[in-house]
Chains A and B, each alone.
Chain A
Amino acid sequence: MGIVASIIVAALLGALSFGYKSVREGAMGAALGLLGGSVILGSLRLCTFAADAASTEAVLGIGLAGAFAWMFGAGTRAVLGQRSADLGSGENRSGTYKLGWYWPWLLLSPTLLILILFLYLPAFQTFTLSTKLANLTSPRTADRCLSNFSDLMVESPTRIAMLPLVAIAMIWGVALWSKRSTPGTRSHSIAKTLQPMGILAVVFAFYFMFETESGTGGYRLIYLNTIIISLSIVALAMTVGLAMAYLAFGRIRGITVYRTLLIWPYAISPPVAGILFFMMFNATAGIFAFLADKIGIEFPNYTASAGMARGVIVLASVWKLLGYNLLFFLAGLQTVPRAQIEAATLDGANAWQRFRLIVMPALGPIAFFLLVTNLTYSFFEVYGTVDLLTKGAPASSTSVAIYEIIRVGVNNQNIGKGAAQSVLLFLAVIGLTAWQFRQSEGRVSYAGS
């Protein structure tokens, strides 16, 4: 039954993602979907539907088949589109060298070699390891099918099947609503404001899918930590960064010195940020404890309360990120059309209206780029800050996803479980990047690595 369900799901999603304008296109999409589904289920040797597999694994298997079907369909569509765009955009410009065929390959080979050996290969191995029972130090492994994943989730197959469907249905419903309703009406504006909330549906769906082990909080706690900490970092770092950019923009005596001093913390490492905030917020020797003592307040020990510990990590990370955001926002402010600002001022628009109607749209691409880089920072680089500040304490309430991966995979040496968690994080990153590409349509700037 599981196999039949996955065949249907794969064919449907393949057609949906590839396109179904004509019968031929739809058939092509369904075929691609089936190919994608059978690639993944075949490489798992259909273990998700074996007699001894848990029922949650069967649900995950159907989901996987669907996801791969979608990837094959959408991927082929994107490649075809890009290829025709490439041919049209005159990549073959005049002035190219016409030497032996091996020349470009020679120039590219070191880069390709390193990328394949140290990115593609480990990425592939992460996926294979995630289905294994493997120890960090021994080369022997045993197959675990998808139980590394189902261990992270609640033991209810219906919930795991329904939650994502509900989230997707909500997103589609709202999208349809905003498409159908007439622009300008109340109902349209409600639909428009609801649309960005779609991401919340996904966030909540995952929250209720992860297990809560009684006592430790389980992976749901890790997920919650990651969401709270990363969203707070991004929100604060971006708003404060923009405010500072406003302050540091334009000509004023000594502006280059001001800017250098404000941007400089960008060069500080996440562990150092952790150490500096460890000192300041130290309950016995820190400056804040001293000041609180002066005015007669007992300064709480941040390592004892989940909220405080998360707060200090967020503050340290925001402090470290500010310079980076300021730099990009400054570059973005240069692109704000000055003539429009002048016209709006003469028309009597106030500062807030000018900001909302002219500055914000112009900053859009930069803000979006920063949103994604800040999120990646708060997913990964925050490791150093957490390790030097709290080490995940108290009671795992500051253990974010990357910290948990290392704890499980390296400290507990269970590399298969760690790899499964890595795959989840990987999917989150792929989703974010795909979203970024769609929003910015190739306006890629450069990131930190």
Chain B
Amino acid sequence: MRVREQDNLTMNVGKVGIVRGRDWPRHVSLLLAIAVVVFPLAYAALISTQSNTQINNFQLTPGSSLGTHFDQVWNGANLGRLMWNSVVQAVLITVIKTVLSLLAGLAFVYFSFRGKWIVFFLVLITLMMPTEVMILAMFRLVSDLGLKNSMAGLVIPFAASATGAFLFRQHFANLPKDLSEAAQIDGASPLQFLFKILIPLSWNVIGALAVIQFVFVWNMYLWPVLIVSDPNSQVVQQGLERLKSTDTGITYGPLMLAALLASLPPALVFIALQKPFMSGFAVSADK
């Protein structure tokens, strides 16, 4: 008797026939869970097509206002521009942070130098320093540097992190030692070693970090609210706030459409990089 390939939580020794039949309740409960999780989005999608009168009448079929709403949001509220700002910010931070973290990981694993443990501590301690608790001082500092209302002010303070450095340090430390020995014998410089050998072996980790960073930056709200007041330099999350707090009575449709549009890019990044993301997690979880 062939025991079906199993997970390690349920044990159904010798009950193959019953197991097949028992898949049904799980499908149903999974679908139910998904229905609950997806409901707020589906509801928002429905609302985004309706005019205020239709919403107040609780019409359960899609309305026909999607086009006007899109025009209102994209051109009227300038959401296109704001989304572009968010894309630029998220891509810049993701790329710079990944590169800097790779360099730091390289230094931590493949060099031994005086004062290494002090540097290590200096970086480690920042893990318990969330920017939010020092946000007022940061705001003052960045204003003094003249970076208010600029992309630099949105990007530079977040361009390095302990998380990324430690992630690559951990990953590199688990690679075979022979790699760097062989590279040195071949006369490769540290940077050549990084780009030719380490990076090709790290795509999963890079992918996982990229998803986390992109989503983190895209969803950033408090920092942009503080330092960007110029309506053309704001990011998408701020646009949502502006749409909601209009003086002249709220129209729900455009607001819901904007919320959906603002959720699209991180979702696309997540789905595109899902595979490295998941395996990156599996890698990190069993350490």
A-to-B contact residues, CB < 8 Å: 79, 82-83, 86, 91-97, 99, 101, 103-105, 107-108, 110-116, 118-123, 125-126, 129, 136, 244, 246-253, 258, 260-272, 275-280, 282, 284-285, 287, 290, 319, 322-323, 327-328, 331-338, 341-342, 345-346, 354, 359, 366, 376, 379-381, 383-384, 387-388, 402, 405-406, 409-410, 415, 418-419, 422-423, 425-426, 429-430, 433-434, 443-449
Residues of A within 8 A of B190 (CB): 97, 99, 103, 107
**Known contacts A91-B116, A111-B100: A328-B281 contact under CB 8 Å:** yes
The digit string for B93-133, where 1 denotes a CB below 8 A from any CB of A, is: 00000001101101110111110110101110011111111
On whether the beta carbons of A95 and B180 are closer than 8 Å, the reply is yes
Closest residue of chain B to A102 (Cβ to Cβ) is B113
CA–CA, A385 and B42, complex, Å: 19
On whether the beta carbons of A247 and B100 are closer than 8 Å, the reply is no
On whether the beta carbons of A111 and B167 are closer than 8 Å, the reply is no
Residues of B within 8 A of A445 (CB): 284-285, 287
On whether the beta carbons of B180 and A111 are closer than 8 Å, the reply is no
Least CB distance, A303 to chain B, in whole angstroms: 13
The digit string for B241-267, where 1 denotes a CB below 8 A from any CB of A, is: 100100000001001100100110011
Closest residue of chain B to A248 (Cβ to Cβ) is B30
* A–B Cβ pairs within 8 angstroms, 10 of them: A97-B111, A97-B180, A107-B190, A110-B100, A258-B34, A264-B271, A275-B255, A345-B11, A422-B135, A449-B130
Residues of B within 8 A of A94 (CB): 177, 181
Closest residue of chain B to A323 (Cβ to Cβ) is B37
Q: Is B18 an interface residue (CB 8 A)?
A: no
On whether the beta carbons of B128 and A433 are closer than 8 Å, the reply is yes
CA–CA, A217 and B122, complex, Å: 40
On whether the beta carbons of B103 and A446 are closer than 8 Å, the reply is no
On whether the beta carbons of A446 and B37 are closer than 8 Å, the reply is no
On whether the beta carbons of A114 and B156 are closer than 8 Å, the reply is yes
Q: Is B27 an interface residue (CB 8 A)?
A: yes
Residues of A within 8 A of B281 (CB): 327-328, 331
On whether the beta carbons of A111 and B286 are closer than 8 Å, the reply is no
**Known contacts A118-B157, A327-B281, A449-B161: A444-B107 contact under CB 8 Å:** no
**Known contacts A96-B112, A410-B139, A426-B134: A123-B271 contact under CB 8 Å:** no
CA–CA, A252 and B23, complex, Å: 7
On whether the beta carbons of B103 and A271 are closer than 8 Å, the reply is no
On whether the beta carbons of B212 and A264 are closer than 8 Å, the reply is no
Q: Is B140 an interface residue (CB 8 A)?
A: yes
Within 8 A of A (CB), among B57-111: 58, 100-101, 103-104, 106-108, 110-111
On whether the beta carbons of B140 and A125 are closer than 8 Å, the reply is yes
Closest 5 pairs (CB-CB, A-B): A250-B7, A338-B8, A269-B219, A331-B285, A433-B128
**Known contacts A246-B9, A337-B8, A448-B216: A422-B133 contact under CB 8 Å:** yes
Given A272-B259, A334-B282, 19 other A-B residues pairs in contact with their CB atoms under 8 A: A82-B121, A91-B112, A91-B116, A96-B111, A115-B122, A115-B123, A119-B129, A121-B137, A249-B9, A253-B27, A261-B38, A268-B219, A269-B237, A275-B244, A279-B252, A402-B222, A418-B136, A429-B128, A449-B161
**Known contacts A335-B286, A444-B166: A108-B133 contact under CB 8 Å:** no
On whether the beta carbons of A433 and B127 are closer than 8 Å, the reply is yes
Q: Is B163 an interface residue (CB 8 A)?
A: yes
Residues of B within 8 A of A285 (CB): 52, 55-56, 252
On whether the beta carbons of B160 and A114 are closer than 8 Å, the reply is yes
Residues of A within 8 A of B34 (CB): 258, 261-262
The digit string for B167-203, where 1 denotes a CB below 8 A from any CB of A, is: 1000000000111110010000010000000000000
On whether the beta carbons of B141 and A122 are closer than 8 Å, the reply is yes
Least CB distance, B169 to chain A, in whole angstroms: 11
On whether the beta carbons of A126 and B219 are closer than 8 Å, the reply is no
On whether the beta carbons of A387 and B221 are closer than 8 Å, the reply is yes
On whether the beta carbons of A434 and B133 are closer than 8 Å, the reply is no
Q: Which of A97, A338, A446 contacts B163 (CB 8 A)?
A: A446
CA–CA, A374 and B62, complex, Å: 36
Q: Is B1 an interface residue (CB 8 A)?
A: no
On whether the beta carbons of B29 and A247 are closer than 8 Å, the reply is yes
Residues of B within 8 A of A261 (CB): 34, 37-38
Q: Is B215 an interface residue (CB 8 A)?
A: yes
Residues of B within 8 A of A91 (CB): 112, 116
On whether the beta carbons of A265 and B43 are closer than 8 Å, the reply is no
On whether the beta carbons of B126 and A92 are closer than 8 Å, the reply is no
Closest residue of chain A to B44 (Cβ to Cβ) is A276
Residues of B within 8 A of A126 (CB): 133-134, 136-137
CA–CA, A410 and B143, complex, Å: 13
Q: Which of A276, A282, A331, A335 has the most CB of B within 10 A?
A: A276
Least CB distance, B217 to chain A, in whole angstroms: 10
Q: Is B26 an interface residue (CB 8 A)?
A: yes
On whether the beta carbons of B106 and A107 are closer than 8 Å, the reply is yes
CA–CA, A268 and B160, complex, Å: 23
Residues of B within 8 A of A381 (CB): 219
CA–CA, A284 and B43, complex, Å: 16
CA–CA, A178 and B286, complex, Å: 32
